[in-house]
Homo-oligomer: A and B are copies of this chain.
Amino acid sequence: MNERMKIQERDIIRLIDEKKLAELKGYLSEMNPVDLADIIDDLDNKNSLIVIRLLPKELGVEVFSYFDVDKQKEIATMISDSELKYILDQLYFDDMIDLLEEMPAELVADILKNAPYSQRKLINEFLKYPEDSAGSIMTIEYVDLKEEMTVEDAIDHIRDIGMTKETVYTCYVTNASAKLVGIVSLRKLVTEDTSKRIGDIMQTDIITVNTHDDQEEVAEVFKKYDFLAIPVVDKEYRLTGIITVDDIMDVIEEEATEDFQKMAAMEPTDDDYLDTPVLKLAKHRITWLLILMISGTFTGAIIRGYEDVLSKMTVLSMFIPMLMDTGGNAGSQSSTLIIRGLAVGDIQMKDIFKVLRKETMIAILVGIALSFVNFLRLILIERIDSKIALVVSITLVFTVLMAKLVGGMLPIFAKKLKLDPAIMAGPLITTLVDAGSLMIYFKFSTILLGLR
């Protein structure tokens, strides 16, 4: 909360304390609804209820739509059924669906009982769209025009209904069987001759998405075409809703967050960290930790296999952490760049050989540089025997090479196998590379140091 909002909050509390409710009402109606939602969230229960009840109805609903779902549920239990019904009626359709999805089943049934049949049917339909599908994030609030309308008819129509629609800036033209036949922007309507037919000025080359498309694909389309909204159609090309750009910004952020989580070996969730119970957080983390812990013991088995080598020259064990860490880091760098490139579309399946060539060259450059620094350090600072320093440094070059190739290739293979490339990230790559680099290390040790 910034300074301006803190002052506003103090003003509000003062007006409540002084019981100047008429003045408070005027004060509130001038405020930005997003800021107001933040401030109400910060007030205690009693004061927040006073403020909500004082809001002009339309503003009240808008403010309500900016609360997070927990706060909405909390308020829903504090206000009367008729107040709740009013809010639900007035909320944008997609916000209402989001709220209903979070409410206890009995309460939803209660609300549906009182809703008119057509709305009840629609709500039920929406609640059934799979999570993360285009259907689940679309809204049915859009301006629907017909080809035979004139521009003037269309503007009159928008004037009648437009103020309650989530976006009026693109209007959708449907035919008698509800199929989408064209789109026309409000910009076009305003600048065209008022007597022209909509059918003559509408654009017919329309990009649409399907109700069952994944929200990630929808986000791709938005990014590609710079849309403000996109129409959602069903299998028969009937217009079922639209998705607006503000919801897509949330999708882009959510998808990035999920990738971050997967890449750090967690099950992805879009739950807020602070609101998620400890047990659930622990559950999301333990599966991969277990899998990787068990795989990590293969690396241990390699060490066990060379126990006699190690016992003859324990100093060798001193370099195991450095080799493992550098391999893991080098591999994570490559896999992260490739995973992100695949996610944002900079890298395609067909680029596999380019990636292979590039990572090989980078690995050789980086590996030799690191190895050189390491050799000098071992000889000059640590005063290690030069033969051992050589073994460590050669192993380092091969470790980096292997790490970069494994890190660069596995995400692409995962994509080829229709798996999520994000699981082929740091933690898994590290485990794989560890085993490989220790095998190389011990092989060189036995050969170059004449052990065993």
Contacts and interface: CB of A to CB of B under 8 A. Distances in A.
A273 B321 contact: no
A338 to B, nearest CB: 7
A237 interface: no
Interface stretch (A10-18, A131-139, A370-378): A370-378
Nearest to A163: B191
A431 interface: yes
A274 B191 CA distance: 43
B207 A222 contact: no
B366 A265 contact: no
A288 interface: yes
A76 to B, nearest CB: 22
A300 interface: yes
A173 to B, nearest CB: 17
Contacts of A299: 321-322, 325
B32 A205 contact: yes
B261 A358 contact: no
Contacts of A169: 169, 186-187, 228
A285 B266 CA distance: 25
A74 interface: no
Contacts of A249: 222-223, 245, 248-249, 252
Contacts of A257: 340, 344
A258 to B, nearest CB: 10
Nearest to A165: B187
A289 B430 contact: no
Interface in A425-448: 426-427, 430-431, 434, 438
A3 interface: no
B326 A265 contact: no
Nearest to A155: B190
Nearest to A323: B296
A438 B336 CA distance: 28
Interface string A184-216: 001101110000000000000101000000000
Contacts of A250: 223
Interface stretch (A78-86, A113-121, A346-354): A346-354
Interface stretch (A51-59, A101-109, A122-130, A327-335): A327-335
Nearest to A344: B253
A354 B276 CA distance: 12
A245 B362 CA distance: 37
Interface stretch (A42-50, A174-182, A307-315): A307-315
A224 B285 CA distance: 30
B187 A30 contact: no
A320 interface: yes
Contacts of A261: 336-337, 340
A318 B296 contact: no
A426 B273 CA distance: 18
Contacts of A296: 321-322, 325-326
Nearest to A320: B320
Given A260-B263, A273-B338, A325-B430, 17 more contacts: A34-B225, A158-B190, A264-B329, A265-B329, A265-B333, A274-B346, A274-B354, A278-B362, A282-B362, A285-B330, A290-B373, A303-B320, A303-B321, A307-B315, A310-B314, A311-B314, A321-B438
26 contacts: A31-B205, A162-B190, A162-B191, A169-B228, A186-B187, A228-B228, A228-B245, A248-B249, A253-B344, A260-B336, A264-B336, A265-B332, A265-B333, A273-B347, A281-B362, A285-B333, A286-B370, A290-B370, A292-B329, A294-B377, A296-B322, A299-B321, A320-B320, A320-B321, A328-B328, A332-B427
